[in-house]
Amino acid sequence: MAMRIVADTARLLGASRLVPVASAHIDGCLYHGDSGTLFAERLVNDGGRASVPTTLNVGALDLVHAGRVRLPPERMAMARRMMDAYLKLGCRPTWTCAPYQAGHRPALGQHVAWGESNAVVFCNSVLGARTERYGDFLDICAAISGRAPETGLHLDDNRRPSLLVDCAVLDRRLVEEEAFWPVLGAWLGENAGGRVVAFAGLPSKIDEDRLKAMGAAAASTGSVGLFHIEGVTPETFERPREVLKLSGTMLHAARDRLSTVRAKPGDKVDAIAVGSPHFSFAEFQRLLGHLDGRKPAIPIYVCTGRHTLAEIERAGLDTSALTIVADTCIVVTPILPASGGLLMTNSGKFAHYTRPNTGFEVLYGSLADCAETAVAGRLVREESLWR
């Protein structure tokens, strides 16, 4: 069945061949209803087993912190059955949307089959490995068959940028801000329209967590699977002839769209959520640095993976001020209070999915804004660079 689904998809996409893949990352292990569990169990019963190293994206349960997820018992049981089925298929229990920070880093030019839109864009752009944006189910079928349709971003032609976005005129202080990157990503997602974009005029060294945040935002507001940054991302490319000069005004509008409501400094905020994609150890250090030992007045939900929990434990980091969510996250399963409220985040992806998936209204801010707002329980946001 796995090979048939890969072959049918290939035909549908007009791919004339299948390409062997070196690894897979599975998004299909998240429970969206019983159908996905039944599909995974069918693969297990058919004797399916991943034939290449395969990591797992988030599930619907936090297996580390009992009681964190508020799913009804029947759904909880089906979600657990689904997670168990994927383990029986030989996948690693990584349960993270940032597998690339959990040791799964394919090499430049290597063909892989990855699901989860942020992981796909990171894999293609930052690592320079090659994966198409696979939907749930094709990912595990590719892992079992060891093949993927040779199409889309597997092919040289489709990886060449057709638009150069020149960032040289942007305020340098803004570009240095951590909060700039998800906004740049959100703008890209809204404007790329299926094209591969290359950026010029950005710093020659960009922290990996910033690229991760940018890609996640781009893959949420649009269907971006690959971007290039001159002098930063590993794949070489010819400068496209079409050039767009990105202005501060264009970005300010994209930033405004990441908040679902207008709020004034001092307005009551109910919760903070960070960690989409899953927080890295370095991000924990930065957040705790901003808090500087102060106690938050409202919950700070931090979503992360087991690989980072292990690092935190090794380093003896005190995270008692934080509500840690592992193996899953706040927009894929009920964790936030059902009563709703106002949530602040530094994640472009959370900003995009929180309202439809949780009912909470969203304010976008930097990580420092999130920490200050958490301590005050009221909106504190530094906006001078965005005006």
First-to-last alpha carbon distance for the chain, in angstroms, is 55
Among 38, 87, 107, 168, binds another protein (CB under 8 A): 38
Spatial contact of 38 and 302, defined as CB atoms under 8 Å apart: no
Nearer to another protein, 118 or 373 (CB): 118
Spatial contact of 247 and 218, defined as CB atoms under 8 Å apart: no
Strands 18-20 and 147-149: antiparallel
Q: Helices then strands (H, E): number in the chain?
A: 14, 14
* Nearest-approach distance from CB 1 to another protein, in angstroms: 6
Restricting to residues 315-334, name those near another protein by CB under 8 A.
331
Among 39, 100, 350, 364, binds another protein (CB under 8 A): 39
Nearer to another protein, 123 or 287 (CB): 123
Per rule CB under 8 A, is residue 147 in the interface with another protein?
A: no
Q: Which residues pair with 244 in a beta bridge?
A: 165
Cα–Cα distance between 137 and 255 in angstroms, integer? 33
| Residue range at the interface with another protein (CB under 8 A); choices 29-37, 61-69, 155-163, 270-278 | 29-37
Binding mask 190-209 for another protein (x = CB under 8 A): ---xx---------------
Binding mask 44-63 for another protein (x = CB under 8 A): --------------------
Restricting to residues 163-182, name those near another protein by CB under 8 A.
none
* Nearest-approach distance from CB 34 to another protein, in angstroms: 7
* Nearest-approach distance from CB 281 to another protein, in angstroms: 26
Candidates 133, 139, 236, 277; CA nearest to 192 is 133
Per rule CB under 8 A, is residue 383 in the interface with another protein?
A: no
Nearer to another protein, 203 or 334 (CB): 334
Per rule CB under 8 A, is residue 8 in the interface with another protein?
A: yes
Among 352, 367, 368, 373, binds another protein (CB under 8 A): 352
Q: State the number of binding residues for another protein (CB under 8 A).
A: 47
Binding mask 115-144 for another protein (x = CB under 8 A): xxx--x-----------xxxxxxxx-----
Per rule CB under 8 A, is residue 335 in the interface with another protein?
A: no
Nearer to another protein, 301 or 353 (CB): 353
Q: Phi and psi (nearest 5°) for 166?
A: -90, 120
Cα–Cα distance between 48 and 45 in angstroms, integer? 7
Amino acid at 212: K
Alpha-carbon separation of residue 91 from 52, 87, 140, 274 (angstroms): 9, 5, 9, 27
Candidates 133, 150, 29; CA nearest to 83 is 29
Per rule CB under 8 A, is residue 23 in the interface with another protein?
A: no
Cα–Cα distance between 120 and 104 in angstroms, integer? 12
Sequence-distant contacts of 234-241: CB under 8 A, at least 24 apart:
234/108, 234/126, 234/127, 234/128, 235/108, 235/128, 235/159, 237/159, 237/160, 237/161, 237/198, 238/160, 239/164, 239/198, 239/200, 240/160, 240/161, 240/162, 240/163, 240/164, 240/198
Q: Which residues bind another protein (CB under 8 A)?
A: 1, 4-5, 8-9, 12-13, 27-28, 30, 32-36, 38-39, 42, 115-117, 120, 132-139, 149, 152, 189, 193-194, 219-223, 260, 331, 352-353, 355-357
